[in-house]
């Protein structure tokens, strides 16, 4: 009897250990993915909010005529320590004597190390102050955003050709007359976009060269030319080498592909009269919207100028309402402000995010406290600003700056 009792005790002990090991493993297995999942999501949410608040903070700085400055968090390394324990404890019973109780415990500790990089130096400053080129405009114009919003935010001015002269329409309320003309032109382009007839894209054409040498080209030379994108065309005794070219950007109320190759080539030459931060606008009579013809170039801003424009609209040179030209079609949205930022000495409530600068609070206008702009317009405008910032700022992980590491 004593022998079987000993075997029973040993088996019971083994069973308890198996249960304890299984329970401990289960605790660790359940806790680790849950904790890791929450941590990754929270870090991502925090990082995104920091970027948005930095943009808002720099708008506040510019409003107070102070220099803007950005800081990046390129790397967050976190170590997670998952611990679980189990044991047996004696517990007195009501009926007398004592029993055995299984005691379980688990803990999670997190030790993040955050690298903070001040974005500064000549390379970054040049990117901040250099006007954006047409490729950024083309990319943003095809993201499904309101084209009027993109033009308001990215364009500094419109240079209009009329009667042999050139006039500058400033996208700046400091010049009220020119500002009205600029807004009417932009609203006309928006109306054309709304009915699907505004073409925004590169001018594509064929560059051709006549072959003067009378000798026939060898098959080897023809194949090499084909590998480089050239085409060999023979028409009777005339031999021509041709290559497809991607030209400069064009905003038009027609499809450039329907023009002859020579017309497209001439359009590209015209577009090249200005640097790459200019985009040719060609709204012709005889096409939809042609009753309001526009022959012009739009001049793109730098990212620094975009921030300054938003800040100046808050105080120094506030934007004002401009109605569309009678020749333009219907407009869905025409808010006064390109991006409406609210300012108050009191901390706001029920907003997505805000910043405090010099004892004043700044936040994005929403349904509860907006003046004119709709919540949708404002959020889309701020998202556009965020994307422009991401496209402008250099890769901070390779920036020649000393990162600041903060270990929790």
pLDDT above 60 for 1:
no
Answer with the residue of higher pLDDT: 75 or 250.
Answer: 250
Please give the pLDDT value at position 71.
79
In the 3-class helix/strand/coil scheme, how is 271-334 assigned residue by residue?
HCCCCCCEEEEEECCCCCCCCCCEEEEEEECCHHHHHHHHHHHHCCCCCCCCCCCCCCCCCCCC
Helix (H) or strand (E) holding 100: strand 98-119
Query: Has residue 404 been placed in a domain?
Result: no
Per-residue confidence at 117, pLDDT binned at 50, 70, 90?
confident
pLDDT above 90 for 20:
no
Local structure of 241: helix, strand or coil: strand
226 and 287 assigned to the same domain = yes
Do 214 and 234 form a contact (C-beta atoms < 8 A)? Answer: no
Quickly list DSSP for 190-230.
Answer: HHHHHTT--EEEEEEEEEEEE----SPPPHHHHHHHHHTTE
Please give the pLDDT value at position 105.
56
Residues in the chain: 408
Query: Has residue 340 been placed in a domain?
Result: yes
Edge-first strand listing for the sheet containing 404-407: 70-92, 98-119, 404-407
Please give the pLDDT value at position 127.
85
198 and 347 assigned to the same domain = yes
95 and 172 assigned to the same domain = no
Please give the pLDDT value at position 79.
67
Helix (H) or strand (E) holding 232: strand 230-235
184 and 315 assigned to the same domain = yes
84 and 220 assigned to the same domain = no
Please give the pLDDT value at position 338.
94
Per-residue confidence at 192, pLDDT binned at 50, 70, 90?
very high
Do 61 and 359 form a contact (C-beta atoms < 8 A)? Answer: no
Between the alpha carbon of residue 235 and those of residues 2, 77, 82, 241, the distances in Å are: 112, 66, 78, 11
28 and 160 assigned to the same domain = no
101 and 128 assigned to the same domain = no
- Neighbouring CB atoms inside 10 A of 187's CB total 21
Local structure of 314: helix, strand or coil: helix
Residue that finishes a domain, picked among 78, 103, 119: 119
How far apart are the C-alpha atoms of 156 and 151, rounded to whole Å? 9
Contacts of 18 (CB under 8 A, 6+ apart): none
Please give the pLDDT value at position 98.
53
Rounded to 5 degrees, φ, ψ at 237 are -90, -5
How far apart are the C-alpha atoms of 365 and 376, rounded to whole Å? 10
- Bridge partner list, 296: 160, 281
249 and 114 assigned to the same domain = no
Query: Has residue 265 been placed in a domain?
Result: yes
Instruction: Summarize pLDDT for 362-399 with one digit per residue, the tens.
Output: 999 876 655 544 778 999 999 999 999 988 875 554 55
- pLDDT (mean) for 96-122: 63
Query: Has residue 176 been placed in a domain?
Result: yes
Query: Has residue 238 been placed in a domain?
Result: yes
Beta-strand relationship, 199-210 and 230-235: unpaired
Answer with the residue of higher pLDDT: 184 or 117.
Answer: 184
188 and 329 assigned to the same domain = yes
How far apart are the C-alpha atoms of 350 and 138, rounded to whole Å? 36
| Nearest alpha-carbon partner for 111 in 84, 73, 77 | 77
Do 362 and 371 form a contact (C-beta atoms < 8 A)? Answer: no
Please give the pLDDT value at position 376.
86
Do 335 and 372 form a contact (C-beta atoms < 8 A)? Answer: yes
232 and 151 assigned to the same domain = yes
Do 270 and 238 form a contact (C-beta atoms < 8 A)? Answer: no
How far apart are the C-alpha atoms of 109 and 35, rounded to whole Å? 10
- Tokens of residue 317, six digits: 């040179």
Please give the residue range of the domain that contains residue 110: 21-34+55-60+70-119
pLDDT above 60 for 184:
yes
Instruction: Summarize pLDDT for 250-292 with one digit per residue, the tens.
Output: 999 999 999 999 999 999 999 999 999 999 999 999 999 999 9
How many domains, in total, are found in the chain? 2
Answer with the residue of higher pLDDT: 302 or 209.
Answer: 302
In percent, how much of the chain has pLDDT > 70?
66
How far apart are the C-alpha atoms of 273 and 259, rounded to whole Å? 20
| pLDDT averaged over every residue in the chain | 80
- pLDDT (mean) for 1-17: 49
103 and 217 assigned to the same domain = no
Beta-strand relationship, 354-357 and 70-92: unpaired
- Tokens of residue 291, six digits: 């009753």
Residue that finishes a domain, picked among 98, 119, 140: 119
Highest mean pLDDT range out of 121-125, 218-222, 230-234, 365-369? Answer: 121-125
292 and 309 assigned to the same domain = yes
Instruction: Summarize pLDDT for 29-70 with one digit per residue, the tens.
Output: 554 555 566 767 777 787 788 889 999 999 999 999 999 888
- Neighbouring CB atoms inside 10 A of 242's CB total 16
- Tokens of residue 357, six digits: 């600068």
Beta-strand relationship, 199-210 and 238-252: antiparallel
How far apart are the C-alpha atoms of 205 and 239, rounded to whole Å? 19
Rounded to 5 degrees, φ, ψ at 260 are -70, 160
Instruction: Enter the pTM of the model.
Output: 0.77
Rounded to 5 degrees, φ, ψ at 36 are -65, -40
- pLDDT (mean) for 151-160: 97
How far apart are the C-alpha atoms of 243 and 229, rounded to whole Å? 6
Query: Has residue 110 been placed in a domain?
Result: yes
- Neighbouring CB atoms inside 10 A of 17's CB total 12
Per-residue confidence at 242, pLDDT binned at 50, 70, 90?
confident
254 DSSP 8-state letter: S
């Amino acid at each position: 009897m004593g022998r079987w009792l000993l075997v029973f005790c040993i088996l019971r002990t083994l069973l308890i250990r198996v249960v304890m090991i299984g329970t401990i493993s289960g605790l660790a297995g359940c806790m680790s993915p849950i904790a890791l999942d929450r941590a990754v999501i929270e870090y991502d949410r925090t990082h995104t909010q920091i970027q948005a608040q930095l943009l808002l903070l720099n708008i506040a700085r510019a409003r107070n005529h102070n220099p803007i400055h950005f800081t990046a968090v390129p790397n967050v390394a976190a170590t997670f320590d998952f611990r679980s324990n189990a044991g047996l404890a004696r517990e007195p019973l009501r009926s007398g004597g004592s029993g055995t109780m299984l005691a379980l415990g688990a803990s999670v500790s997190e030790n993040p190390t955050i690298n903070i990089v001040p974005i500064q130096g000549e390379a970054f400053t040049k990117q901040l102050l250099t006007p954006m080129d047409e490729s950024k405009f083309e990319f943003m114009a095809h993201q499904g955003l309101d084209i009027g919003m993109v033009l308001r935010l990215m364009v500094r001015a419109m240079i209009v050709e009329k009667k042999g002269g050139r006039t500058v329409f400033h996208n700046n309320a400091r010049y009220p007359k020119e500002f009205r003309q600029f807004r009417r032109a932009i609203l006309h382009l928006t109306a054309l976009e709304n009915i699907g007839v505004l073409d925004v894209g590169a001018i594509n054409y064929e560059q051709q060269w006549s072959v003067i040498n009378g000798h026939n080209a060898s098959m080897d030379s023809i194949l090499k030319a084909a590998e480089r994108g050239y085409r060999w065309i023979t028409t009777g005794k005339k031999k021509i080498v041709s290559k497809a070219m991607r030209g400069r950007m064009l905003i038009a109320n027609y499809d450039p592909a329907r023009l002859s190759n020579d017309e497209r080539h001439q359009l590209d030459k015209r577009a090249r009269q200005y640097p790459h931060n200019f985009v040719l606008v060609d709204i012709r009579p005889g096409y939809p919207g042609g009753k309001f013809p526009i022959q012009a170039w739009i001049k793109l801003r730098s990212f620094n100028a975009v921030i300054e424009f938003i800040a100046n609209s808050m105080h120094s040179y506030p934007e004002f309402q401009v109605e569309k030209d009678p020749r333009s079609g219907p407009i869905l949205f025409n808010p006064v402000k390109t991006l409406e930022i609210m300012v108050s000495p009191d901390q706001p409530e029920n907003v997505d995010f805000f910043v405090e600068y010099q004892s004043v609070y700044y936040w994005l206008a929403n349904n509860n406290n907006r003046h004119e702009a709709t919540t949708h317009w404002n959020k889309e405008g701020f998202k556009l600003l965020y994307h422009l910032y991401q496209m402008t700022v250099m890769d901070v992980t390779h920036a020649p700056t000393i990162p600041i590491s903060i270990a929790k």
